[in-house]
Amino acid sequence: MQLDVVEPLRDALSEDVAFTLAITILVAGVFAAYAVWRWTGEAFRRTGLDEVVEGTTFERTAQRFNTSTKGVVAFLFAASVYGLAVLLAFNLVEVLEVDVFWPRVAELLPQVMIAIFAIIIGLILGDKAHLYVQERLRSVKLPEASVLPDLVKYSIFYIAALIALAQIGVATTALIVLLAAYAFGIVLLGAVALKDLLAAGAAGLYLLFTEPYVIGDEVRIDERRGIVQEVDIFVTRVEANGEEYIIPNQRVFQSGIVRIRDSE
C-alpha cells in the first residue's frame, strides 16, 4: 500500500523532476522542522510551561544532558516533522521498498510519539502531584502521611507507563493484569500502612462535626493538658507552658477528652 497522493504524482513526473522535487521536500522539511522547534519553545514560554516543569525529575535529568524539557519536546516535534518529510521524499523517488516500509512507519510513528509524550507528561505530573500532596499534608505529623505523596507520584508514573506500553503494542490483557495487580497492591498498602491515617481522618471528621471542644478551650487528653490551638481532620494541637502537643485524632477519640471549665 503506497501513499494515495504520492503515487499518481510520481507516475506523472519524470525521474529527474521527481528527484528535484524530493530534494525540495527535504529542504522544506528542514525549515518546517526549525519553525516547529521555535514555535514549541515559544509556546512553552507563553503558556508558562517553563515554570510548571521547573524542578521536576525530568527537567533535572534533561539539564544533565545540557538541554531541558522544552528542548526535548521541541526536538521530538521537529524530528517528527522532518521525519515525515524524509519519508515523503524517499517515497517519491522510490528509494525504499515503500510498499512494505511506509505502512509500517506510518503506523508506528504516531504510536511511538504518543508513548514518549505519555512518559514525559507522566513524569512531570507525578512530580507536581507529589509536591502538591506533600504541601497539603505538611501539617500532618503522622508517619503514614509521608507515604501518600510517593503513592500518588508512582501511581501517575504507573498509569503513564501503561499508556506508553499500550501504544507500542503490548497486549491489552497483559496491561489489564498489570493494572489489577497494581490496584490490589495499592489496596493492600492502604489497609496496612495507612490504617492509622484513615482512623485519624475518621476520628477527625467526628470531632469537627460534633465539636466537643473548640480552639481556645482548655482540655486534658491523656496526661496532656493545655489550650487547643488547632483542630484539623488528622490532628489536634494543644499548647501548654511553651510546648505544643500534636495529638492524632484517633488517640483523642480513643482516650477521651476532659474539657476544663475553670482554671485551677
* In-domain check, residue 133: no
pLDDT digits (tens, 9 = 90+) for 162-209: 888 877 777 667 767 777 887 787 777 666 666 666 677 777 788 778
pLDDT digits (tens, 9 = 90+) for 20-56: 887 888 889 889 888 988 888 888 878 777 777 777 7
pLDDT tops 80 at residue 19: no
The mean pLDDT value for 227-250 works out to 83
CATH number for the domain spanning 249: value is 2.30.30.60
* In-domain check, residue 141: no
Q: Which of 47, 69, 96 is the last residue of a domain?
A: 96
How many other CB atoms sit within 10 Å of the CB of residue 10? 20
* In-domain check, residue 68: yes
* In-domain check, residue 9: yes
At position 7, the amino acid (one-letter code) is E
Count of domains for the chain: 2
* pTM for the predicted model, two decimal places: 0.55
Q: Which of 67, 96, 125 is the last residue of a domain?
A: 96
Mean pLDDT computed over every residue of the chain: 76
* In-domain check, residue 129: no
The mean pLDDT value for 86-94 works out to 74
pLDDT tops 60 at residue 10: no
What is d(CA 243, CA 252) in angstroms, rounded to the nearest whole number? Answer: 18
pLDDT confidence band for 59 (50 / 70 / 90): confident
Q: What is the pLDDT of residue 3?
A: 46
- Locate 254 and state its grid cell: 480513643
Q: What is the pLDDT of residue 102?
A: 60
* In-domain check, residue 183: no
Which has the higher per-residue pLDDT, 123 or 106? Answer: 123
Q: For residue 239, give every residue at least 6 positions away whose Cβ sits within 8 Å of its Cβ, in sequence order, or none.
A: 226, 227, 229, 245
Q: What is the pLDDT of residue 9?
A: 55
pLDDT confidence band for 71 (50 / 70 / 90): confident
* In-domain check, residue 115: no
Q: Which of 39, 69, 96 is the last residue of a domain?
A: 96
pLDDT tops 60 at residue 7: no
* In-domain check, residue 111: no
Q: What is the pLDDT of residue 1?
A: 40
pLDDT digits (tens, 9 = 90+) for 133-169: 887 777 665 555 667 787 788 888 888 888 888 777 7
Q: What is the pLDDT of residue 12?
A: 55
Q: What is the pLDDT of residue 193?
A: 60
Residue 78's domain comprises: 1-96
